Amino acid sequence: MRSRVTGVLLITLVGALSGLVGVGAQGTLTVCPSGCQFSKIQDAINAAQPGDTIEIKAGTYEENLTINKGLKLIGEDRDKVTIKGATAGKPGIAISGDIEVTLEGLTVAETILASPKNFQEDGVRVTRSVKLTVKQARLFKNGDSGLELRDRSQATVTDSEFIGNGNNGIGLFDAAQIIVTNSKILQNGSGLADNFNNGLSAVGRNKVTLQESVISGNTNEGVFLGEETEATLIKNQITQNKMNGVIVLDAVTVELKENQIRENNFWGVTEVLTQCGFSEDRFDGTVTGENNEITGNGQGLPDALKQQGDGTGDVCPKELESLKKK
């Protein structure tokens, strides 16, 4: 009897342990145009369990994706994997929830503007409390912003590109947070989105760290910071934007260190004040920093207005000369 009971207990224990092994186990699903488990990325997302990895092979996938579980989407290479918007008025990838998501090695491109516009045609749109990691990705020619973060979402972005999007390259609103490193934010703001058209815009109680990146050739501002945003900009190249390099308003707090801010059409760095050419005084925040190369800006400013700043068009008000290299 004892041996029979012991045998039953062992069988029960082994069964329980085998069940535990399955709990939380992370799997890998594969997507390619033909010959893989899935030919559509959304089908793989729907089938995946939280924590799974979806490997995406070379191809163009005309889909609008929705992610509401923790996943990793790993593309073969951003030059080989493109997710192209298929439905007007929707983001290329919509991510929402209290989840962690990784996007790596892929391009999200050409989301389609609705008529009338609904300002949701972002390449990647992130809401609620998502923690997003973006690596070696490209967000290219999307109808609205390349990446938009809302609510309390957070993103860490490295080695990525935001090019030619209709509105912002990157936009933050509400109380979002972002760290951007070694990335390119170029030529955003086609004007079709009728909104900010900046390289990076942050409006709300956001936290921004932008470092070792290039912000250039954007239709309006290189970096636009408003409301109660806190920002740190370190070792960036902010150049040849068609309006200002860095513009701050409201109660923004920003620190600038070792940036190159050159050849922007209006001010290199400016506060929104009447003396700097704006229609009202709208800045009561704080701008600090040191060792920035700020030069060659202001070609589009009248000479009389330049005198209200540092006389060259690089900074306004003139007190911001303290930002420059000594």
Q: What is the DSSP string of 142-166?
A: -SS-SEEE-TT-EEEEES-EEES-S
What is the residue-averaged pLDDT of the chain? 93
Q: Is the pLDDT of residue 17 over 80?
A: no
What letter represents residue 38's amino acid?
F
Question: Is residue 70 within 8 Å of residue 100, measured between CB atoms?
Answer: yes
Residue ranges and CATH numbers for the domains of the chain are: 27-220 (2.160.20.10)
Rounded Cα gap, residues 87 and 238, in angstroms: 34
- Position 194 scores a pLDDT of 58
Rounded Cα gap, residues 23 and 144, in angstroms: 40
Q: What is the DSSP string of 39-107?
A: SSHHHHHHHPPTT-EEEE-SEEEE--EEE-S-EEEEES-TTTEEEE--STTS-SEEEEES-EEEEES-E
Mean pLDDT of 289-306: 97
- Position 192 scores a pLDDT of 60
- Position 290 scores a pLDDT of 98
Q: Is the pLDDT of residue 15 over 80?
A: no
Rounded Cα gap, residues 19 and 103, in angstroms: 30
Rounded Cα gap, residues 100 and 69, in angstroms: 8
Rounded Cα gap, residues 263 and 63, in angstroms: 39
- Position 294 scores a pLDDT of 99
Mean pLDDT of 117-134: 94
Q: Is the pLDDT of residue 98 over 90?
A: yes
State pTM to two decimals. Answer: 0.92
Mean pLDDT of 97-109: 99
What is the token pair recorded at 28?
Answer: 């890998």
In 3D, which of 179, 172, 89 has the Cα closest to residue 135? 179
Q: What is the pLDDT of residues 184-201, one digit of tens each?
A: 999 999 756 556 899 999
